[in-house]
Amino acid sequence: MRQISSFAKYHEEYKTSIEQPEAFWAEVAEYFAWGKKWDKVLEWNFTDANVKWYSGGTTNMSENCLDRHLEKHANKVALIWEPNDPKEASKSLTYRQLHTEVCKFANVLLGLGIKQGDRVCIYLPMIPEAAVAMLACTRIGAIHSVVFAGFSSTSISDRINDSQCSLLITADAVYRGDKKIDLKKIVDDALLLTPSIQKCIVFNHRNSAIDMKPGRDIWWSDLMANANPIHQVARFEAETPLFILYTSGSTGKPKGVLHTTAGYMVYAGYTFKNVFNYQMGEVFFCTADVGWVTGHTYLVYGPLLNGATSVMFEGTPSYPDHGRFWDVVDKHKVNIFYTAPTAIRSLQSQGEEIFKTKDLSTLRVLGSVGEPINEEAWHWYDKNVGKENCPIVDTWWQTETGGILISPIAGVTPLKPSFATLPLPGIQTVLMDEKGNEIAGNGTEGNLCIKFPWPGMARSVYGDHERFRQTYFSTYLGYYFTGDGCKRDEDGYYRITGRVDDVLNVSGHRIGTGEVEDAINQHDYIIESAVVGYPHDIKGQGIYAFVTLAGHASGDEHVRDVIRKTVTEKIGPFARPDKIQIVKHLPKTRSGKIMRRILRKIAEGATDNLGDTTTLLDPTVVDAIKAGAL
Ligand code: WTA
């Protein structure tokens, strides 16, 4: 795999990638195993949002992650699994073992009639079976849709129905810290509303008492007991759909972001190797859940494509105590550690005493992802975890981008705390002004767009290409719009300032304000709600809900409980509002639109200077809300 060894080389590589993108990405793709090589590296048209990479080529993700390493690295550890409870044994799977499991499960899927193009929903905790299921799907050309195991039954059924999955893979239950989550019970409720599901495979993880519905539910172990361990891969055309991953936007229901085979594979492999400067033999620990894109690209696919050893941790950073991440690093001799700023901030508040007994000397590179990292957290991470000796790669990217777009290259790019620094080779970042023009020069700020395709970019929204075009390619014609605001300093370094739309980033989880409002409004106590974000010390952003009540709603505290419960049921516990203010009226314009801008200011704690309020129907409403602000 191409690797960048110095800052000068980075600049050279960047220049080549912009001047000759097709030649550049063709060379990167040479590293991978292909059935047939591509005829055309790139065809694209941002106006219609159509992008194709490596047309005419055929390849297989699972073969590239597993089979191709067997000759030289069959006995190398592919996956280390660390359980929630440190008293239980961790597990390792070599490339050979993982390959066998995946081949068996691919045969299980085929035996159940799953074929290329079928959608398979995966609702599993952080256990190796999640990776096995994902890799087996890609092996046979089935499209996986992993749903984070913190989502509610309503969220699962919505996602299953949107992409018409015919199979669901789940587990009986899981412990996160000392909390038990009955996954199968949640699934049972979801499956009351999903006519497309024919079978449900259940992995027995905790021996929990569950109901198995005859004819529908089948135990993973029964299916695997006699499964054939030999499976010859078929290679698929480069643009064959690989997976769907639902993510929140500023409007409507979550979108099924669609990634396709060859481009995503090449980009995941290339960025993993280069951003982290991965060296053969190193142990890589990404703390993200496989239910989010970071888990897809940098826990499963990126590392395996490179023959790396990847750690999958089932638990939480604070169980049994706040040193658990460092115990995992110590125990498994982790070299590269990749986490979210929210985790860093929550640990930072617990002090530094805990580090005294941990050996973190194996660490070489640290990473950050999912939200802006504030300088204080950056320095704490650098000092206590990296011992001021590990580069921190602040990696900016999105579900839609497939892989990291802006980031330092470990050990190569000079760092600046809280800056994602520079675009990776092939990534043509631009900042746009309000009028839709590119802003030239440095020392500036605007909306972040990308003006040229890269292999890992999403190709569509599943079943709704027009929504894809509208969401990402219509704000600035001819550009992919990220939804993020961004600064470019005097050195040309990028610093992401956060979303400029109605998407919240709560503990690194992307949540649409509209989704939370829809959930709240479903309760008959509520007439109307408006949800905004506010700065939160640990979560980055907290959720602040303003609600107006129906006449029969009783007791403010009761109403708040009911709202939290409703959001938990409709979305999941991570989307519960932190603050709920009950108001008589919401501030509206004469045409009836809620003025969120004002609510955002109030939620941020502003008492005066709320901006222009002259278009409000009744300006006194604002004073009343201000007086009751939480
Ligand atoms: C935010 C997560 C600042 C950003 C990989 C983006 C970041 C959204 C960073 C995507 C970072 C991600 N610095 N902000 N290093 N990384 N973001 O789809 O607002 O869950 O648009 O993908 O997270 O979130 P998503």
Question: Given a cut of 90, is residue 613 above it in pLDDT?
Answer: no
Q: Is the CB of 496 under 6 A from ligand 1?
A: yes
- pLDDT tens digits for range 197-222: 999 999 999 999 999 999 999 999 99
**Closest-CA residue to 160 (of 200, 208, 100):** 200
Q: pLDDT value at position 249?
A: 86
Q: Work out the mean pLDDT of the chain and round it to a whole number.
A: 96
Q: How confident is the model at residue 83 (pLDDT cuts 50, 70, 90)?
A: very high
Read off the pLDDT of each residue in 418-427 and give the average, rounded to a whole number. 98
Query: Could you please report the per-residue DSSP string of 495-506?
Result: EEEEESSSEEEE
Distance from the CA of 444 to the center of ligand 1, in angstroms? 20
Going by alpha carbons, the residue nearest to atom 5 of ligand 1 is 398
**Which secondary structure element, helix H or strand E, spans residue 344, and what is its range?**
helix 341-348
- pLDDT tens digits for range 118-129: 999 999 999 999
Distance from the CA of 494 to the center of ligand 1, in angstroms? 13
Read off the pLDDT of each residue in 22-39 and give the average, rounded to a whole number. 98
Question: Given a cut of 80, is residue 165 above it in pLDDT?
Answer: yes
Residue 409 per-residue DSSP state: P
Q: Is the CB of 242 under 6 A from ligand 1?
A: no
**Closest-CA residue to 126 (of 368, 281, 323, 291):** 291
Please identify which residue in the block is written with the tokens 């020069």: 441
In angstroms, rounded to a whole number, what is the distance separating the alpha carbons of residues 216 and 257? 28
Topology at the third CATH level for domain 516-627: GMP Synthetase; Chain A, domain 3 (3.30.300)
Distance from the CA of 369 to the center of ligand 1, in angstroms? 7
Q: pLDDT value at position 279?
A: 97
Read off the pLDDT of each residue in 31-51 and give the average, rounded to a whole number. 98
Residues of the chain above pLDDT 90, percent:
93
Q: pLDDT value at position 2?
A: 85
- pLDDT tens digits for range 534-560: 999 999 999 999 999 998 888 899 999
Q: pLDDT value at position 612?
A: 79
Going by alpha carbons, the residue nearest to atom 6 of ligand 1 is 398
Q: pLDDT value at position 258?
A: 98
Read off the pLDDT of each residue in 98-119 and give the average, rounded to a whole number. 98
Going by alpha carbons, the residue nearest to atom 8 of ligand 1 is 398
Q: Is the CB of 412 under 6 A from ligand 1?
A: no
Question: Given a cut of 90, is residue 45 above it in pLDDT?
Answer: yes
Read off the pLDDT of each residue in 603-607 and give the average, rounded to a whole number. 88
Q: How confident is the model at residue 19 (pLDDT cuts 50, 70, 90)?
A: very high
Burial of 546 from C-beta contacts in 10 A (0-12 / 13-18 / 19+): buried
Distance from the CA of 403 to the center of ligand 1, in angstroms? 11
Question: Given a cut of 80, is residue 609 above it in pLDDT?
Answer: no
In angstroms, rounded to a whole number, what is the distance separating the alpha carbons of residues 287 and 339? 5
Q: Which atom of ligand 1 is nearest to the CA of 294?
A: 5
Q: Which atom of ligand 1 is nearest to the CA of 482?
A: 21
| Residue ranges covered by each domain of the chain | 94-234, 516-627
Contact 559, 525 (CB under 8 A): yes
- pLDDT tens digits for range 498-532: 999 999 999 999 999 999 999 999 999 999 999 99
Question: Given a cut of 90, is residue 617 above it in pLDDT?
Answer: no
User: Is the domain covering 94-234 a CATH 3.40.50.980 domain?
Assistant: yes
**Closest-CA residue to 393 (of 374, 375, 376, 413):** 413
Query: Could you please report the per-residue DSSP string of 411-462?
Result: TTSPP-TT--BSBPTT--EEEE-TTS-BPPSSSEEEEEEE-S--TTS--EET
Q: Three-state SS for 267?
A: helix
Contact 547, 529 (CB under 8 A): yes
- pLDDT tens digits for range 341-394: 999 999 998 999 999 999 999 999 999 999 999 999 999 999 999 999 999 999
What pairs with residue 529 in β-bridges?
547
- Angle formed at CA 614 by CA 610 and CA 619, multiple of 5 degrees: 75
Check if 94-234 and 516-627 are the same fold: no
Going by alpha carbons, the residue nearest to atom 7 of ligand 1 is 371
Distance from the CA of 110 to the center of ligand 1, in angstroms? 36
Read off the pLDDT of each residue in 466-476 and give the average, rounded to a whole number. 97
Question: Given a cut of 80, is residue 189 above it in pLDDT?
Answer: yes
Distance from the CA of 257 to the center of ligand 1, in angstroms? 15
Angle of helix 153-163 relative to helix 183-190, nearest 10 degrees, comes to 50
Q: Is the CB of 369 under 6 A from ligand 1?
A: yes
Phi then psi dihedrals of residue 312, to 5 deg: -115, 120
User: Hey, what amino acid is at 417?
Assistant: P
| Residues constituting the chain | 630
Q: pLDDT value at position 616?
A: 85
Q: Which of 375, 395, 398, 448 for a ligand 1 pocket mutation test, highest count of atoms within 8 Å of Cβ?
A: 398
- pLDDT tens digits for range 221-264: 999 999 999 999 999 999 999 999 999 988 888 999 999 999 99
Q: pLDDT value at position 614?
A: 80
Going by alpha carbons, the residue nearest to atom 15 of ligand 1 is 396
Q: Is the CB of 458 under 6 A from ligand 1?
A: no
Q: Is the CB of 499 under 6 A from ligand 1?
A: yes
Q: Which atom of ligand 1 is nearest to the CA of 510?
A: 20
In angstroms, rounded to a whole number, what is the distance separating the alpha carbons of residues 509 and 516? 13
Phi then psi dihedrals of residue 38, to 5 deg: -65, 155
Q: Is the CB of 372 under 6 A from ligand 1?
A: yes
Q: pLDDT value at position 260?
A: 98
